[in-house]
Amino acid sequence: MQNYSRIFLFFLATVLILGYTKQNEDPKKDKLLIEIISYVIERGHYDPKQINDNFSENVYLNYLENLDGQHRFFLKNDIDTFKSHKYKIDDEIKNAQINFFDLTYTKLMQRMNEVENFYEDLLSTPFNFNIREKIDLNYENSPYASNIVELKKIWRKRFKLNALETYSIKKEEELQKKNQDTVYQMISDKELENNARKDIIDNMKNFFEVYNDQKRKDWFSIYINSIVAQFDPHTFYFAPRDKDRFDMTMSGKFEGIGARLNKRNQQIKVVEIISGGPVWKDKLLEIGDAILKVRQENEKEAIDISGMVIDDAVKLIKGPKGSKVFLTIKRVDGNIVEVSITRDVVELEETYAKSTLIKDKSGDYGLIELPKFYINFEDYNERNAATDVKKELEQLKKKNVKGIILDLRNNGGGSLKTVVDMTGYFIEKGPVVQVKSTGGRKEVLRDNDPTVVWDGPIVVLVNEFSASASEIIAAALQDYRRAIVLGSKQTFGKGTVQNIIDLNRMISGGTYGDLGALKVTTDKFYRVNGKSTQLEGVKSDIIFPDRYSYVEMGEKDQENPLAWDRITPANFKPLIMTNYEYAIERSKNRLKENPIVSLINEQALWVQKQQSDFSYFLDYDSFINEKEEKKQYAERFKKLSEYKAPFEFQWLPEAGRKEYLNSDTIEKRKRAIEVLRGDIYISEAVNILIDLSSSIKKDRVVAQNKKR
């Protein structure tokens, strides 16, 4: 928050210079927003960019992508008109002008109105599913329509794909009914096709109902974020209602399906499964799944959300506890299914650290699962990830475990203080992470407590979705050679910190109403060895592939990420861990010879192929054949779900918990044990611990300086 204070005070000091008085200011709120945001971000951002012609071009491209990335509304001559502003946006920002926004907004409203007026006519003619043709939905390479006639052809072709998808599902249902009851009278193909077009008409009505509710300020927020996104992917403008939603999410008290969504390649994708939510409990979605349609339980037809603004899609998906929502999902392996989800309140208890005892003939081992680095900001001593992990470590020590696995897979981060404290449980006093702030100020965050809670072998489990705080502790334990990191080729690679700045504090009097807030990147993380975790993340000591190995999902795959760099290393001494090199070499050899690992890698390549396939057949036979081929090929990967570990797993009650566990919690833990039995990554981590502890000495970890 120190950065916030500096920015705020500096801004107040220049308010009078900039002329922020009621008499001299521009009466339009959006112009004022442009001026305030550009001012704050240039002075508060960790690595501000020059607002020049190159910046202008990038805003231009990003904004048009956000407005009409699927090329469904604008015509080629519209884009030609817009091009005159391509290198003027920087000048408009500096002069608090919004000419480009006004031009595009007016034209978009016109084009959307035209599409709304012609779509029903397009859907009045039946589709012929016998004509062999294809459609390519790689929008980046598709041109804009030259005129309205060509635009109608584009819409009709996309409508045909939607109709074919619905038609094929209904046809399959009819065939199943016929197989179950030979006297059943199947609905004719003609009627099925007609019903599919009716569904699309209803879908489009819902689509335009949502879009017609959009206010000018909603579209202006998109423009603002096209500007601030040029600084880095985590700098973001929150309109007033979005700020309220962000506050609610940060508090952990919200109702919905329990998944975080993002928009990539014009698709709404799942980027995080929130522990404790309904999706997490029932394993209904996976990271990388694309949500194509949304249907409410009291409605017959689903709304196609492809190309929809992310906030509007989220509104449709979220809802009150107990209500149902039906999502049409394109899985990462290419299969399309409808999933029923009962919305619920995310249970905070499920995000807490929990431990499991793993029993092997060689001895017992401990597993600590940590979904996030949580904290109570009002009272650090009340409950946080660090103190909870400490309790679990002490509980496992009483069980005389020979080694511990710290599972940070899918852990997107959290409190920095808890990371520093937690790292200290495994090392003697020393630096944990370096933080460089706006203006170049550097701070080394240290563990000052010489007490070591656990001095035995450790394996840290990570994957592509281990980010931020997870990367700090994994990097520190790796640099100290205190743990072996097992998992994906590298972690997510988010090595930056953001602060929320309330824009209302920049102007006194509230003349303009609520201005919202700006999330700004203000700091950067560095390992104790001086290397940034930005982009590169943490590279695993032992690479164990998973299905996402070749899918672009990390920080390096975002737009405008900050660069990787390095600073002076902190003063630290690596430790000596018995059997360190031996355990790594043994694990690599096991993985090389394991046929399951080869199958996982094959699955990852298959997933990559499906993610990059944007072409679809528009005739029924080819469409069904391709769908069946994909389904059959995906069957070969079912062997992965048949794996069972040779170890015994025993869940432990939450350390320090005195109250009685209810039946629901006990049942959830039992189900979690079944998941662990099928987790080959946990099994390999146990094998590494066995190697590390095979002939271990009493003084398991010895500092180099003590040996000298």
pLDDT, tens digit, 9 for 90 and up, residues 459-492: 999 999 999 999 999 999 999 999 999 999 999 9
User: Which residue in the block uniquely carries the two structure tokens 């916030």?
Assistant: 4
Q: Could you tell me the sign of the dihedral formed by the alpha carbons of 688, 694, 698, 701, in that order?
A: negative
Average pLDDT of the segment spanning 93-112: 95
Average pLDDT of the segment spanning 507-519: 75
Among 370-379, 610-619, 694-703, which is the least confidently predicted range? 694-703
Give residue 700's pLDDT band: very low, low, confident or very high (50, 70, 90): very low
The torsion defined by the Cα of 188, 190, 191 and 194, in degrees rounded to 10, comes to: 160
Active site residues: 468, 479, 494
Cα–Cα distance measured from residue 155 to residue 114, given in angstroms and rounded to the nearest whole number: 12
Do residues 331 and 289 lie in contact, with contact meaning Cβ atoms separated by under 8 Å?
yes
**Per-residue pLDDT for 249 more than 50?**
no
**Per-residue pLDDT for 679 more than 80?**
yes
Cα–Cα distance measured from residue 308 to residue 296, given in angstroms and rounded to the nearest whole number: 17
Cα–Cα distance measured from residue 662 to residue 422, given in angstroms and rounded to the nearest whole number: 29
pLDDT given for residue 158 in this prediction: 94
Mind listing the pLDDT tens digit for each residue in 268-277? Answer: 888 777 766 7
**Per-residue pLDDT for 250 more than 70?**
no
Give residue 81's pLDDT band: very low, low, confident or very high (50, 70, 90): very high
> In order of start, what are the domains of the chain with their CATH numbers?
49-230 (no CATH), 255-345 (2.30.42.10), 352-495+532-707 (3.90.226.10)
Q: What is the mean pLDDT of the chain?
A: 86
Mind listing the pLDDT tens digit for each residue in 322-346? Answer: 888 888 888 877 778 888 888 887 6
The more confidently predicted of residues 653 and 58 is: 58
Beta-carbon contacts of residue 77 (< 8 Å; ≥ 6 apart): 146
**Per-residue pLDDT for 248 more than 60?**
no
Give residue 256's pLDDT band: very low, low, confident or very high (50, 70, 90): confident
DSSP class per residue in 8-39: HHHHHHHHHHHT-STTTS-S-HHHHHHHHHHH
**Per-residue pLDDT for 349 more than 70?**
no
Neighbours of 153 (CB within 10 A): 12
**Per-residue pLDDT for 655 more than 90?**
no
Q: Could you tell me the sign of the dihedral formed by the alpha carbons of 529, 534, 536, 541, in that order?
A: positive
Among 128-132, 289-293, 523-527, 563-567, which is the least confidently predicted range? 289-293
Do residues 193 and 21 lie in contact, with contact meaning Cβ atoms separated by under 8 Å?
no
The more confidently predicted of residues 168 and 19 is: 168
